[in-house]
Chains A and B, each alone.
Chain A
Amino acid sequence: MNLKLKIWRQKNAATKGKIVNYDINEVSSDMSFLEMLDVLNADLTEKGDEPVSFDHDCREGICGSCSLQINGRPHGPDGGTTTCQLHMRKFKDGDSIVIEPFRAKAFPIVKDLIIDRSAFDRVQHAGAFVSVNTSGNTQDANATPINKGDADNAFDAASCIGCGACVAACKNASAMLFVSAKVSQYALLPQGQVEREKRVTDMISQMDEEGFGACTNTGACEVECPKGISITNIARMNREFIKSNLKS
């Protein structure tokens, strides 16, 4: 199929960017979206132009590197999928495709489609851990049984890949889904109890400091999340936060 691409090009954080049009022909429907961009980049390189920069690594939907706002949607039109797992069979011959970086104040642009998501890391530094040293002398792994339902819910929350689609989907650029997934994982497990209250307060305060917006319950984050992280995590984090404030 033949496609018209409208791609955001920006040299670096200090310069202004713009949409540039590219025609690409003979795209196979078996290609992944990023393989289509590889073909474009090989053409650009051979012509002496600079290829389009985008983040990518595992290309199997788990590392969370890839991003891209495709025709206005984070990770494109297919549900439950990262951009690297999106295939060109979801498009038709003659389609125009607008490709932009994820847009949020807390995710400044590095170059072209690459954004800086280190704000996510800093929120995690604030409290997304259990304070336990590596000693080899922690108690036996089966010493504390954990209710299967709680363990499964903790796993579901922990399966977040940190891609930032939730922020990109939100009109407020809120990171509540991302932060609440981590808060929930620990709140549900016995190992997370000791630091439970401090964790939620510290992480939320860092989240605010990074410039993420507030949550107004539109639910867009849940719809666009490639891993199906549920907004019940946000409700849980709100409860955790209120409880923590009441106790302190």
Chain B
Amino acid sequence: MKIGANFPAKIPEGPIKDKWTSYKNKIDLVNPANKRLIDIIVVGTGLAGGSAAATLAELGYNVKAFCFQDSPRRAHSIAAQGGINASKNYMGDGDSDYRLFYDTVKGGDYRAREENVYRLAEVSGNIIDQCVAQGVPFARDYGGLLDNRSFGGVLVSRTFYAKGQTGQQLLLGAYSAMNRQIARGKIKMYNRHEMMDLVIVEGKARGIIAKNLITGDLERHSAHAVVIASGGYGNVFYLSTNAMGSNVSAAWKIHKKGAWFANPCFTQIHPTCIPVSGDHQSKLTLMSESLRNDGRIWVPGKEEDAKAIRSGTLRPTAIAEDDRDYFLERRYPAFGNLVPRDVASRAAKERCDAGFGVNATGEAVYLDFAAAIIRYGKEKALVTHQDANNEALVLELGREIIATKYGNLFQMYEKIVDENPYETPMMIYPAVHYTMGGIWVDYDLMTTVPGCYAIGEANFSEHGANRLGASALMQGLADGYFVLPYTIGNYLAEDIRTGAIPVDTPEFDAAEKGVQEQLERFIYNKGSKPVDYFHKKLGKVMWNKVGMSRNAKDLNDAIEEIQAIRDEFYKEVKVPGNLDGFNEELAKAGRVADFLELGELFAKDALKREESCGGHFREEYQTPEGEAKRDKAFQYVAAWEHKGAPKDAKLHKEMLDYKYIEVKERSYK
């Protein structure tokens, strides 16, 4: 079978609402006795990988699951805060599969594949049923039924949540399902193992080389199919809301073995994160989008006030209402503070670049709860028959209500910034949060390498050029619980007579040798600078030239600069310790080496996409009001084929044809 043979996407025939059902009715199945003869490797144990591993094991396959953390429960899905979307229409506000489908395609600025998004909407309700059956403690109302809240870019309430810890509860649900299969021996769990390379035998993915991070040993693992669920690559920016260990390596290794990488430049910059405090900063912390339900975003209207705030001579609370610029409400009266993330982020950057930023670095805007505190306080005073004109009482009552809604977030903010957000407005600034781009997959979620699948944030996903809030959890679990377990059977049906895949073959020898050589190169390099030096340098180039706002000159510069950093990295990197034993610096070196290649492809993709859409904003392509200007000629998925170096990568276009949704100007005014 030729690599790349399954491009384009193998979309089933028929009307969109019947495609998934008729697909499931027609695919090949593997009988239960034969499933016992088939091994599947799953790399990553977040929402996508964890749910896939558990479900595949329930079906009877032998699963080997890998994570670099010390337990599958620590994958970074655990940090997702706000919620998970599903078209249950429990609120009776007119929600439906079609509306969820429509909102997702529109929110993604018409750069996602219609059929995949419809399937996502279709299975979204099942996810909630499944999670509740597992004992996931979602928020409930006093009648004992599930509660919903609303997120940016939509007009219904369809977000299920568990306080500000929805990701944690959903991941622990998937982890519990995994535990049941680990106990039955159907999942063999490899903690503290990192995938180092993919092994291809006769054109099919047949195994991986993994490194035991405790002993440093390289191990060979074979299987009939390999599933990559290793998350996103936001850490190419060095600073992001991702975990320290989040990396692109598993995805990048399969890319170098023939899997095409799609839309690498589609990155979500989340508007509400805690600003950078200094050069020592190692990561950024998100403040949930749910805060924009009650917080108002502003900067001083006068430049001299902004200067005085930055120098510490003026407090924000001393600025009169008329001297404040609530710029989102001003620019987008219809959606106000609840515009989608890409729009809110760019608007904040625009104000800071114009000189109105509010912390010492000039890169922060206010998120102010004063109005909400008074509004809630007055209401509570009236309901409880107290004096609604008593200012102190109103403030006290209002703060109590805000604490019940966002208490854990306010506490986290106070711990990090050392200011009380109940009294002074929060300072926030956009930060890299999620990557919509990723490994190209067909309708089956198979990559262009036969037998190699990519799910969750690791694939190029259903979110197009911009992901809506609370949709990442939905996609990860949809892929793992409800899509992949069906589609993979269609492929594995051919493999029932194959037998176990041997690991003492030339293909495994070659892959292991390549890994060993790279590790030795790092350890024996006579450099002088630690890995983080290069990672930070790469991050600065990415943020300044390939970040929220891009132009051709900067992108060309970035490509050259990244190439130069990569050369310097291989000459100058210093990795302490030995090849054996636990060596975090060695693991980091391998991950940063891959970021240094991905970063260049990322910039190249941004350069070639000569339009603005969603999270990708090109300064050359904007309307007179400064909004993103989409171009029909770029209505495609850019899938890059590896040809040696990132600069030589070859572009394949999957044209996106919208049959069920009319492509319109995305307006939130």
| Interface of A toward B, CB cutoff 8 Å | 11-12, 28, 30-32, 34-35, 38-39, 41-42, 44-46, 48-51, 53, 55-65, 78, 80-81, 85, 87, 89, 110-111, 114, 116-118, 120-121, 124-126, 128-136, 138-142, 145-148, 151-152, 154-155, 158-159, 161-162, 185-186, 189, 191-192
Q: Is the interface of A mostly helix, strand, loop or mixed?
A: loop
> Is B278's CB under 8 angstroms from A57's CB?
no
Please name the residue on chain A nearest to B141 by beta carbon. A148
Size category, B interface: 35 or more
> Is B71's CB under 8 angstroms from A46's CB?
no
B contact residues around A132 at 8 Å (CB):
130, 133-134
> Is B172's CB under 8 angstroms from A158's CB?
yes
- Given the known interface contacts A35-B280, A39-B280, A59-B283, the answer about A53 and B584 at a Cβ–Cβ threshold of 8 Å is yes
Task: Give A124 to B178 CA distance when docked, in angstroms.
Answer: 10
> Is A46's CB under 8 angstroms from B79's CB?
no
> Is B133's CB under 8 angstroms from A85's CB?
no
CB of B168 within 8 Å of the partner chain: yes
Sample (13) of A-B pairs whose CB atoms are under 8 Å apart: A35-B281, A42-B530, A45-B576, A50-B577, A58-B244, A110-B582, A117-B71, A129-B180, A141-B129, A142-B90, A151-B138, A155-B137, A161-B168
Please name the residue on chain B nearest to A80 by beta carbon. B411
A contact residues around B411 at 8 Å (CB):
80
> Is A59's CB under 8 angstroms from B244's CB?
yes
- Given the known interface contacts A81-B415, A141-B146, the answer about A189 and B137 at a Cβ–Cβ threshold of 8 Å is yes
Task: Give A44 to B165 CA distance when docked, in angstroms.
Answer: 37
A contact residues around B96 at 8 Å (CB):
none
- Given the known interface contacts A59-B243, A134-B177, A155-B163, the answer about A11 and B183 at a Cβ–Cβ threshold of 8 Å is no
> Is A146's CB under 8 angstroms from B140's CB?
yes
A contact residues around B177 at 8 Å (CB):
129, 134
Choose among A42, A63, A81 the residue with the greatest number of B CB atoms under 10 Å from its CB.
A63
> Is B70's CB under 8 angstroms from A116's CB?
yes
B contact residues around A111 at 8 Å (CB):
581-582
A contact residues around B172 at 8 Å (CB):
158
Given contacts A57-B76, A120-B71, 16 further A-B contacts (CB under 8 A): A12-B581, A35-B280, A35-B282, A38-B280, A45-B585, A57-B245, A59-B285, A62-B79, A64-B73, A128-B179, A129-B134, A129-B177, A139-B129, A141-B88, A155-B162, A158-B169
CB A7 to nearest CB in B, in angstroms, measures 15
Candidates A58, A87, A146; contact of B144 at CB < 8 Å: A146
> Is B70's CB under 8 angstroms from A134's CB?
no
> Is B282's CB under 8 angstroms from A145's CB?
no
A contact residues around B74 at 8 Å (CB):
57-58, 63-65, 162
> Is A30's CB under 8 angstroms from B134's CB?
no
Please name the residue on chain A nearest to B72 by beta carbon. A121
Please name the residue on chain B nearest to A159 by beta carbon. B165
CB of B191 within 8 Å of the partner chain: yes
Please name the residue on chain B nearest to A88 by beta carbon. B280
CB B24 to nearest CB in A, in angstroms, measures 10
CB B422 to nearest CB in A, in angstroms, measures 17
> Is B582's CB under 8 angstroms from A114's CB?
yes
Tell me the residues in window 145-172 of chain B with beta carbons closer than 8 Å to chain A beta carbons. Answer: 145-146, 162-163, 165, 168-169, 172
Task: Give A111 to B586 CA distance when docked, in angstroms.
Answer: 15
> Is A57's CB under 8 angstroms from B129's CB?
no
Task: Give A128 to B581 CA distance when docked, in angstroms.
Answer: 32
A contact residues around B75 at 8 Å (CB):
63
Candidates A46, A78, A129, A161; contact of B528 at CB < 8 Å: A46
CB B616 to nearest CB in A, in angstroms, measures 27
B contact residues around A30 at 8 Å (CB):
277-278, 280, 418
- Given the known interface contacts A11-B581, A46-B528, A89-B418, the answer about A124 and B76 at a Cβ–Cβ threshold of 8 Å is no
> Is B415's CB under 8 angstroms from A87's CB?
yes
- Given the known interface contacts A32-B282, A45-B576, the answer about A162 and B481 at a Cβ–Cβ threshold of 8 Å is no
A contact residues around B182 at 8 Å (CB):
125
Task: Give A166 to B152 CA distance when docked, in angstroms.
Answer: 39
